[in-house]
Copies of this chain bind each other. A is one copy, B any other.
Amino acid sequence: MAVLPLGKALNLAMRRSLAEDDRVLVLGEDIGTLGGVFRVTDGLAAEFGANRVIDTPLAESGIVGTAIGLALRGFRPVCEIQFDGFVYPAFDQIVSQLAKMRARSRGRVQLPVVIRIPAGGGIGAVEHHSESNEAYFAHTAGLRVVSCSNPQDGYRLLRAAIRSNDPIVFFEPKRAYWDKGEVDLDASPASLDRALVLRKGRDCTLIAHGPSVKVALAAAEAAEEDGVSVGVVDLRSISPLDVETLQRCVAETGRAVVVHEASTFLGIGAEIAAAITEGCFRELKAPVQRVGAYQLPYPPAHVEDAFLPDVDRVLLAIDRSLNFGRTTAHV
């Protein structure tokens, strides 16, 4: 067991994938010589050469479009998008080509492409560097969307993503890149569609992914001190959702709070709330509470702490859930 920061765990996952399968390639802006602006690909170019770890021109549509062509030729490209806010120039290639090609060909063609995106806020960055745009991809049939929250999972999920024959958008919580955790480098790749119950709870279930998992865990701790038993589920897979696990947990507690950094309006929390309500209508003691960013474009860093969900807002949502029906239940 090694103790590693998330960024390094992801780096080792790519390194191992490159070593195990010579069809795996890594490409993106500044990922070779520089090792990426977050250094997540550090050392890979030196070890595997410029033919396998490719510095590209500055064009995201080009990166994804080229990756599609490489995949059609039998390669397994792993693309890096430098920041969440810069994936949109590639949106057409992702949504109309990458996602649809297998269905279009009725299964004759498959595109094992991974698109890694450092995502989310909280690092004091300038505009376009703190977006949480998982919902766009999750709404797109044909893609899988994965979000990792800690070094061990990052390592296992990224390896699994690179092995999968489906196109995957892989979100990495950039502010957690330096957070350390134990990593078993021999752990098997994680299943790509199972949520992980991080903590059992009797009174309420918190559901989160990526950077919000830490917030959820902290809120659960705090609630525990107040005598409220709160469980935490890490989604890991945003699409598909592991609805069974979510419904099973919520059926036990009767209460759920979803936390994410994207705005609540049509965020993944909306789907989770709808799906849980469909499956646990009679068990639910209160409507599923959603805690997300406000419905604003990501504001200047100066106010991002107020903008993003924090432990307090999660605790208030737990309260609203617990007290639902007791007071005027306006949410």
User: Among the listed B136, B141, B281, B297, which residue makes an inter-chain contact with A297, where contact means beta carbons less than 8 Å apart?
Assistant: B141
Min CB distance A201 to B, Å, is 21
- Do the beta carbons of B88 and A92 come within 8 Å of each other? yes
Of the stretches A6-14, A150-158, A181-189, A285-293, the one at the interface is A285-293
Contact indicator B268/A266 (Cβ below 8 Å): yes
Q: Collect the chain B residues with CB atoms within 8 Å of residue A295's CB.
A: 141
Number of interface residues of A (CB under 8 A): 49
Of B141, B262, B274, B324, which contacts A290 at CB under 8 A? Answer: B274
Interfacial residues, chain A to chain B (CB-CB below 8 A) = 85, 88-89, 91-92, 95-96, 99-100, 103-104, 127-128, 135-136, 138-139, 141-142, 239, 262-263, 265-271, 273-274, 277-279, 281-282, 284, 286-288, 290, 295-297, 299, 324-325, 329, 331
Q: CB-CB < 8 A to A331: which residues of B?
A: 278-279
Taking a contact as CB atoms closer than 8 A, the residue among B92, B104, B277 that contacts A273 in the complex is B277
- Taking a contact as CB atoms under 8 Å apart, the answer to whether B99 and A297 are in contact is yes
Q: Bound complex: CA of A271 vs CA of B274, how far in Å?
A: 8
Contacts of A325 in B (CB 8 A): 282
Report chain B residues within 8 Å CB of A296: 103, 141
In contact, B142 and A100 (Cβ under 8 angstroms):
no
Contact B127 A104 (CB under 8 A): yes
Closest residue of B by beta carbon distance from A87: B92
**11 interchain pairs, CB-CB under 8 A:** A135-B139, A136-B136, A138-B265, A139-B263, A139-B265, A265-B271, A270-B270, A273-B273, A274-B274, A278-B331, A281-B324
* Structural contact, A274 and B288, CB atoms closer than 8 A: yes
Minimum CB–CB distance from A330 to chain B (whole Å) comes to 9
Residues of the B chain whose Cβ atoms lie less than 8 Å from the Cβ of A141? 263, 265, 295-297
Residue contact B287 to A281, C-beta cutoff 8 Å: yes
Q: Is the CB of A281 within 8 A of B139?
A: no
Query: Bound state CA distance, A270 and B267, in angstroms?
Result: 9
A96: nearest chain-B partner, CB-CB: B88
